Amino acid sequence: MPDPILELSLLPERFTLHRLPPETPVAPHWMTSCQLVSVTLTNDELSILAPENMAINSARQEGPWRAFKVAGPLDFALVGILANLSGILARAGIPLFALSTFDTDYLLVNAERCGDAASALRDAGHLVHLE
């Protein structure tokens, strides 16, 4: 069975990924009304993906990133969505950072490679909307 054609939208914001110690308290200002904020806590770290203009005092940061949102909601029974998309970007030599929510997936790529990523995804037959 062929891979489904997916629809992706490029979010207009640029993002930064922050790494903080796991005991860092989660600050309310990190939960803004922007299109995407992710807070992930493990025993080893607190990771925050937030718009690059959000002031977060972190010792380690990566970015700027641009985010492609897969149109959803995606059914949990679907298989290989991220594998398909990440494979396309891998073959194009584009590193990614992936996030999943209850409804959909996000692919984050270095802002400088955003155009290359959009082209690779389109060339693979997916619909990509640039906002």
CB atoms near residue 10 (< 10 Å) = 20
Q: Give the C-alpha separation, 122 to 43, whole Å.
A: 38
Q: Give the C-alpha separation, 84 to 79, whole Å.
A: 9
pTM for this predicted structure: 0.89
Which residue spans within 86-125 are E strands per DSSP?
97-100, 105-110
The string of pLDDT tens digits covering residues 56-78 is 888 899 999 999 998 777 676 66
pLDDT band at 131 (very low <50, low <70, confident <90, very high): low
| Residue 119: pLDDT over 70 | yes
Q: Sign of dihedral through CA atoms 69, 70, 75, 76?
A: negative
Buried b (16+ CB within 10 A) or exposed e, 39-48: eeeeeeebbb
Domains and CATH numbers, the chain: 7-130 (3.30.2130.10)
Q: Give the C-alpha separation, 60 to 58, whole Å.
A: 5
| Residue 1: pLDDT over 80 | no
Residue appearing with tokens 């970015």: 63
